[in-house]
A and B are shown apart, each in its own frame.
Chain A
Amino acid sequence: MKSPFEGKLVRLRAWEPEDEPSIFRWINDPEVTEYLNARYPFSHSQERDWLVRAGTPGYGQASFAVETLGGARLIGSCGLNASTPENRSASLGIVIGEKDCWDGGYGTDTMRAVCRFGFEQMNLHRIELDVFVPNERARHVYEKIGFVTEGVRRHAHFQSGRYFDYVIMGLLDGELRLD
């Protein structure tokens, strides 16, 4: 039986307090957060608080730690948040915090695993996300797995001395490309 938490390279699991040093390192690394909505330095207590909130995954906040299948190494974070049951829609966020895992297929596999979870286990109809226009690596991954560009929020974000456009992308149940 195919585990609902596993892809081909990664496994989704719940967050644990012991994960704090990793997420602290990622969230304070400007290379990792370049295209995330994270402007300020984060404190340990902020990260510990976040872990408490994220530590009980459920319909309203399905937050997952991402670890490698072989080795169970914690490499990133993903989540389906702000789910509205009437609309059956959720907002997706993802970070691969370990930079040596970039461009190795981990992002794509994580996206497939979390979207499959959202459709098959949470009974979602729609998953949406925002991505910065210059974040080509991410946009390519999202398009590869089936996300459709739906709009552009112009100058929706200011960071690093400039405005960024956000691309809004959406994926409906049945559109996820698993290979």
Chain B
Amino acid sequence: MKSPFEGRLIRLRAREPEDEPLLFRWINDPEVTENFVIRYPMSHAQERAFIDSCAKPGYERAAFAVETLAEGTLIGGVDLGRTSPENRSASLGIAIGDKSRWDSGYGTDTMITVCRFGFEMMNLHRIELAVYARNARARHVYEKVGFKVEGRLRDGRYKFGEYDDVIVMGLLQRELVTR
């Protein structure tokens, strides 16, 4: 039986307090957070509070740590949040904090696994996300997995001294491209 938490390279699991040191390092690394919403440094207390808030993944917030299948190494996190049961929709956020795992399929596999979870276990109809226009790597992954561009929020983000557009993308239940 195919585990609902597993892809080909990664596994989704709940975040744990022991994850804090790694998450703290990543969240304060501007190279990692360049394309995140995060803009301020984060304290240990904030990071611990964040992990606490993820402690019980459920329908309102399906919050996951992402670890490699091969070694069980924590490499990032992904969340389905702002879930609406009437609309059957959720907002996706993903962060691969371990830079050594960029551009090697971990992001794509995480996206496929969490979207499959959202559709097959949570019975969502729609998953949406926002991505910065200049984040070509991420946009490519999302399109590969089936997300469609739905809108562009002009000058939606200000960071690093300039504005960038925010692209809104959506994926419906039967549109997920698993490979």
Contact = CB atoms under 8 A, between A and B. Distances in A.
Q: Do A and B bind each other?
A: yes
B123 A123 contact: no
A86 interface: yes
Interface string B86-123: 11100000000000000000000000000000000111
A123 B87 CA distance: 7
Contact of B86 (A86, A87, A122): A122
A121 interface: yes
Contacts of B83: 85
A88 interface: yes
A83 interface: yes
A85 to B, nearest CB: 3
Name the residue among B85, B87, B88, B122 with the largest chain A CB count within 10 angstroms.
Answer: B85
Contacts, number: 24
Name the residue among A83, A86, A121, A122 with the largest chain B CB count within 10 angstroms.
Answer: A86
B36 interface: no
A5 interface: no
Interface in B4-43: none
Contact of B123 (A85, A121, A122): A85
Interface string A79-94: 0000101111000000
B121 A86 contact: yes
Contacts of A87: 123
A88 B86 CA distance: 9
Contacts of B122: 85-86
Interface residues of A, number: 9
Contacts of A83: 85
Contacts of A85: 59, 83, 85, 88, 122-123
A59 interface: yes
A86 B87 contact: no
Interface in B62-90: 83, 85-88
Name the residue among A59, A85, A121 with the largest chain B CB count within 10 angstroms.
Answer: A85
B156 to A, nearest CB: 29
Interface string B118-139: 0001110000000000000000
B71 to A, nearest CB: 31
A87 B122 CA distance: 8
Nearest to A87: B123
Contacts of A59: 85-86
B135 to A, nearest CB: 31
B54 to A, nearest CB: 19
Nearest to B60: A85
B59 A123 contact: no
Interface in A65-124: 83, 85-88, 121-123
Contacts of B85: 59, 83, 85, 88, 122-123
Interface of A: 59, 83, 85-88, 121-123
24 contacts: A59-B85, A59-B86, A83-B85, A85-B59, A85-B83, A85-B85, A85-B88, A85-B122, A85-B123, A86-B59, A86-B121, A86-B122, A86-B123, A87-B123, A88-B85, A88-B88, A88-B123, A121-B86, A122-B85, A122-B86, A123-B85, A123-B86, A123-B87, A123-B88
3 closest A-B pairs by beta carbon, nearest first, are A85-B85, A86-B123, A59-B85
